[in-house]
Amino acid sequence: MSRPRILVTRRWPDAVEAALSERFDVTLNQDDAALDLAKLREALLTYDAVLPTVSDKLPASLFDGDTIRTKILGNFGVGFNHIDVASAKAKGIVVTNTPGVLTDCTADIAMLLLLSVARRGGEGERELRAGSWTGWRPTHLVGTKVTGKTVGIIGFGRIGRAFAQRCHFGFGMDVVFYNRSAIDPMEAARYGAMQLQTVEEVLEVSDFVSLHCPGGAENRHLMNAARLSKMKQGAFLINTARGDVVDETALISALEQGTIRGAGLDVYEAEPHVPERLRALDNVVLLPHLGSATEETRTAMGMKVVDNITAFFAGREPPDRVV
């Protein structure tokens, strides 16, 4: 029997590409250029499986018609808001993701952003590299103390919990959180955290607010101008979730006007575009979507995709099926 035809849309870690090539008839993306809509559409017509990443937009229009060959989208990443999963499902296409293996590294990046923006690490680095540091002085780049402050977490899934653990047990912070469903208080207490009933309640008491909910329609612009104005004036916003959870234009205005003190961002509304007005601000730390970017995690994510599509083509239920 011929092996399933698989398209990998970007370069993946070597070990994962090798594992895929051993098992399937694989087309790799040697030059790592992102695929446009036309190429993705062509891929759906040509391959049994397409393995996309967050940089591949798969809207409803790509799933039109009766000539689609793809049976499974093995997404490299836990977030899948770049795929119109309802349309995929309507066509009988299975979608899988890679939960679990990026929890720690994403929580670490949220902590890195929180510390960097509070302690003005980015500003200091820029000053030093520009050759403008004139030496130690008591009033130089004075930031905000982190230890003992209150952090508010929006979304208490795996990554939210890992972040709570770091904040509470590493930095002695009080942790409150909002989550759509109720979390057993004993479970929350394992992370030193307490659930509040509304997003607003969390915003009103937190010195730092960190977003850990999924992207997509349900949470689009969850942090809008009204919610940003509910944050404490000296507070900071951290986003390692998805860019569309924050109304970026409203955030820029809040930062410019001092409604909040600063932001640490790893994700943006129209990646890789980051608005000039945001890049011009000193009170933000901006990373290029690095949450899961460690050798260990990226390899583990890829191997999860291998497991998912291997199970699928062997007639078994893929372990990380989304639809």
C-beta separation of 206 from 150 below 8 A: yes
Return the residues of window 260-319 that contact ligand DGY according to CB under 6 A.
Answer: 291-292
What are the residues whose beta carbons fall under 8 Å from the beta carbon of 85, sequence distance 6 or more? Answer: 95, 322, 323
Among 242, 261, 269, 298, the active-site one is 242
Q: Is 242 a catalytic residue?
A: yes
CB of 67 to ligand DGY, least distance (A): 28
Q: Is 271 a catalytic residue?
A: yes
Interacting span for ligand DGY (CB under 6 A) from 61-69, 74-82, 128-136, 222-230: 74-82
* Total number of residues that touch ligand DGY (CB under 6 A): 7
Helix (H) or strand (E) holding 72: strand 72-74
| Residue (143 or 214) nearer to ligand DGY, CB | 214
**φ, ψ at 260 (rounded to 5°):** -125, 165
Q: Is 102 in the site for ligand DGY (CB under 6 A)?
A: yes
* CA pair distance 177, 151, nearest whole angstrom: 8
Site string for ligand DGY, 75-94 (x = CB under 6 A): --xxx---------------
Tokens for 11, please give them.
């370069």
CB of 322 to ligand DGY, least distance (A): 12
* CA pair distance 277, 266, nearest whole angstrom: 16
DSSP 42-60: HHHHH-SEEE--TT--B-G
Q: Is 74 in the site for ligand DGY (CB under 6 A)?
A: no
Q: Is 289 a catalytic residue?
A: yes
Binding site for ligand DGY (CB under 6 A): 54, 77-79, 102, 291-292
**Enzyme catalytic residues:** 242, 271, 289
